[in-house]
Amino acid sequence: MKALIFSFLLAFVLLTGTAFTYFKSVEADKGFALIELFTSEGCSSCPPADALVAKIGRETVNRPVFILSFHVDYWNRLGWKDLYSKAEYSARQKRYTGWMHLSSAYTPQIVVNGKTELIGSNEKALRRAITAGLTNTSTVNLTFKQVNLSRQKLQLQYEVSNATDNYALNVAFLQNNAQTQVKAGENAGKVLPHTNVVRELKTIPLNGHQIGTAAIPLPSNFNLKDGRVVSFIQDMSTGKIMAAKEIQLSAI
């Protein structure tokens, strides 16, 4: 019986070893992985990427892995307007094409820590990028000395170590879960689930200051019970993400 149990456990580890191989113990985390998915409900190749980041999110609960789903607007012309799309998110993706010297933007695209880009459905490449982010020690520390929510505004007092003139604090308001019944376009007839949809992104230039405050209005119809806020420091000259942290709304 013991041999049978051991054989079963060994088979289980071999079959599910991907998660254990790439995402080891919490104590091993030295850095972070900020995953930006550029997706669209009007793109037929995007649903597998949406499913992949949802899977990664389930595997990395309580780990410094942050998923942001940006819905771009340039596929709205195909017959279906993505309700979560914004021109600002398309512009952000286009900026990455410049930072990374790419020929063009595409969907689904994932950018990890602002320095590694890959096809959004490429699970092996994504896992490698996440592992690299988690094992590399972050050189910049982001802390919040005070977080308050009043009159539909999020008020922050922050401190950033080793800040330079090119750094900016980004604050992303995310909707944890969303679902859309698509009635036209390439995904007509499908019900599409989404994870960590970016509803608003605010960028605050640091201008070299390590300490500062910010008062940011909440997005309209933002539900705190099904939402979260992720903040990150980005070098706006290179696109590289220097630090990332979730702002705990439950503590407000």
- Arithmetic mean of pLDDT, 211-226: 91
Report how far residue 47's alpha carbon sits from residue 229's, in angstroms, rounded to the nearest whole number: 24
Contact at 8 Å (CB) between 89 and 70?
A: yes
- Asked whether residue 10 is domain-assigned, the answer is no
CA 170-129-144 angle, 5° bins? 30
> Is residue 4 pLDDT above 50, yes or no?
no
Which helix (H) or strand (E) covers residue 2, if one does? helix 2-22
- Asked whether residue 21 is domain-assigned, the answer is no
- Asked whether residue 54 is domain-assigned, the answer is yes
- Asked whether residue 84 is domain-assigned, the answer is yes
Q: In the predicted model, what is the mean pLDDT of the chain?
A: 90
> Is residue 1 pLDDT above 50, yes or no?
no
- Asked whether residue 8 is domain-assigned, the answer is no
> Is residue 195 pLDDT above 90, yes or no?
yes
Q: Which domain holds residue 200?
A: 28-251
Structure tokens at 237: 């000259």
Chain segment 16-27, per-residue pLDDT in tens: 444 444 555 545
Buried b (16+ CB within 10 A) or exposed e, 138-174: bebebeeeebeeeeeebebebebeebeebbbbbbbbb
> Is residue 37 pLDDT above 50, yes or no?
yes
> Is residue 8 pLDDT above 50, yes or no?
no
What's the pLDDT at 2? 40
- Asked whether residue 40 is domain-assigned, the answer is yes
In total, how many domains does the chain have? 1
- Arithmetic mean of pLDDT, 90-118: 98
- Arithmetic mean of pLDDT, 214-228: 90
Which helix (H) or strand (E) covers residue 206, if one does? none
For 172, which DSSP code?
Answer: E
What's the pLDDT at 21? 45
Q: With both helix axes pointing from N to C terminus, report the angle between 47-59 and 123-135 in degrees, rounded to the nearest 10.
A: 40
> Is residue 9 pLDDT above 60, yes or no?
no
> Is residue 11 pLDDT above 50, yes or no?
no
Whichever domain contains 185, its CATH number is: 3.40.30.10
> Is residue 191 pLDDT above 50, yes or no?
yes
What's the pLDDT at 181? 98
What's the pLDDT at 251? 53
> For 42-56, 118-132, 209-223, 238-252, which range has the lowest pLDDT when averaged over its residues?
238-252
- Asked whether residue 207 is domain-assigned, the answer is yes
What's the pLDDT at 246? 95
Chain segment 49-88, per-residue pLDDT in tens: 999 999 999 999 999 999 999 999 999 999 999 999 999 9
Structure tokens at 223: 């539900």
What's the pLDDT at 34? 98
Contact at 8 Å (CB) between 85 and 198?
A: no
- Asked whether residue 19 is domain-assigned, the answer is no
- Enumerate residues 6+ apart whose C-beta is below 8 A from 224: 249
